[in-house]
Amino acid sequence: MAIGSARPRCGSRGGAATTDAWGGSVWFRDWLRTDELARQRYEAIKRTLSEQQVGKRDYDDYTLAKTAFFDEVQQEFEQWAATAGVADPDRASGR
The model's pLDDT over 46-93, given as tens digits with 9 standing for 90+, comes to: 999 989 988 888 878 888 888 888 889 999 988 888 888 776 544 433
DSSP letter assigned to residue 54: T
- Who contacts 45 (Cβ-Cβ below 8 Å, separation ≥6)? 65, 66, 69
| The overall pTM is greater than 0.85 | no
Q: Report the Cα–Cα distance between both ends of the chain, in Å, rounded.
A: 16
- Who contacts 23 (Cβ-Cβ below 8 Å, separation ≥6)? 1, 8, 86
pLDDT 10s digits, 22-48: 567 888 899 999 999 999 999 999 999
